[in-house]
Structure 1
């Protein structure tokens, strides 16, 4: 059970990443579940100069048949090998509206009046909303050692045209014991996207330029960001724990030069209490 406990609530670190829990051997017909609530401070949107604080519901469930739910992602472990994890993965990519919020809603719309988008200091004013999308793909993880895991996932379906694709590559150092009830974990990684993804979230069309005042911009695909984070787990009791995450992400490549980007480096901080059922 220890690897699963060490990775529980991994999705609390960032809404943008599709996290997969470690394989958790258990008796047939059983399941392991964490649920909780916390708070997260994150950039208003990727590349924003301002932060927003919001409630953070967290959920992670794994069943003995390999199915799992981790935050806004779900998938299935298909491998029986202890050093390899792979399987299908689906994830919910949140929307982006003019406020920068990432609510799980749908709908695309822009005003046709440029007067509404006089320069207000909000670079998303006049930009088309990007709808919530269900992404599908797969994950593959490999253990270099019991405490070291290489992670990867490929997901497709983001953006209004559902043609945005992203690949996430990472490395994790699991469960460094600081004290009997305290462990700390480290992670680092990078995201590679196709041009359709870059243009959906960082591009500015001619129509959007006229409405928003941002110059037209057409980014290409490639490396989108690099990131590093640390997670602290405090086991308050055998059933209750406090999970705290800090993650820094830096936009790179052509998305870094988007007129929508105010600050290329952002920090996300979250803390949540969770109960193990």
Structure 2
């Protein structure tokens, strides 16, 4: 699916959520600014609260869930935030930390990923319906204690792509070393029946069209995985990052006749210029 076609999946609901997020964030921004004394001090605080970084990125991901081949996507990499309240980072196009503190965040965002499938991806997929990527509503929470950060995020399909909902839980330990910061830790992903049916199920009609055996799915653990993230600051303005996730498909995803390989690799490398 070409990126330009993603616009057709942005429903009025998606636009409404984005407007709500923006309005909520602007109310918070007005409240925070109004609490400060003096116009000059408020302006200075507003400027210092902005963090902006942009640059190129490369995403490597399976051609489709369960695929043994990979696809490479060149992407823009953005890292923009205001007062740790409003943000646009990576796949999160627009997000708000509704609750935040020194050690925690709770919020929501509109997010995109590249989980999709077309019959041209593999001859075995002929006869199966295409699955397009589209926007998802993400609800998240994270908490940091010392060097450890636990996080949970729920992703709900809001583009009508049939991808249902997934929940990702991770725990990482972060170790700084000079300009290098490395975070490593395990996690797992749960998927509902709609998601597993879309990507791993084979109905009777699909079995007849594709010659794959019929396969019924349900909700359960989609995968267990290990995360490795590394960030290096070359200077005050230039930084680079590498995020790698190696996972193993489980349960319905592992046993599906569509799955070619249980090992799943996702990686993203980027270079950002920070203003």
Bin the TM-score by the shorter chain: 0.7 to 0.9
Which TM-score applies when normalising by structure 1?
A: 0.75
Q: Is the 8 A contact 2:50 2:81 kept in 1?
A: yes
User: Does 2:112 match 1:142?
Assistant: no
Provide the residue aligned with 1:97 in structure 2.
118
Greater Cα radius of gyration, structure 1 or 2: 2
Quickly say closer, same or farther: Cα 1:35–1:187, change in 2 above 3 A: farther
Over the aligned positions, Cα root-mean-square deviation in angstroms equals: 2.4
5+ unaligned residues in a row in structure 2: which ranges? 1-43
Of residues 77, 100, 124, the one that matches 1:58 is 77
How far does the alpha carbon of each residue in 1:35-68 deviate from its partner, in whole angstroms, 9 at most, with x for none? 1113333321221112233323221211126111
Residue 38 (structure 1) aligned with residue 39 (structure 2): no
The reply on whether 1:67 has 2:86 as its aligned counterpart is yes
The 3-state SS of whatever aligns with 2:199 is helix
TM score, norm. by length of structure 2: 0.75
Distance 2:127 2:176 in 1: 49
Aligned to 2:36: none
Aligned structure 1 segments of 4 or more residues deviating by more than 4 angstroms:
158-163
Pick 1 or 2: higher relative contact order, CA cutoff 8 A, min separation 6.
Answer: 1
Instruction: Map 1:54-203; keep pairs closer than 5 Å.
Output: 54-64=73-83, 66-73=85-92, 74-94=94-114, 95-100=116-121, 122-145=123-146, 147-157=147-157, 160=160, 162=162, 164-174=164-174, 176-178=175-177, 180-203=178-201
CA distance in 2, matches of 1:136, 1:243: 25
Q: Which has the higher helix share?
A: 2
Give SS of 1:77's match.
strand
Cα 1:80–1:70 change in 2 (3 A) is: closer
Shift of 1:161: 5.9
Distance 2:185 2:132 in 1: 29
Structure 1 unaligned residues grouped into runs of 5+: 1-25, 101-120
Aligned positions, number: 230
1:138-190 CA distance string (max 9 Å, x none): 11111222x2111011122268565711111111223x223x32221213211
SS in 2 for 1:27: helix
Whether the 8 Å contact between 2:163 and 2:198 is mirrored in structure 1 is no
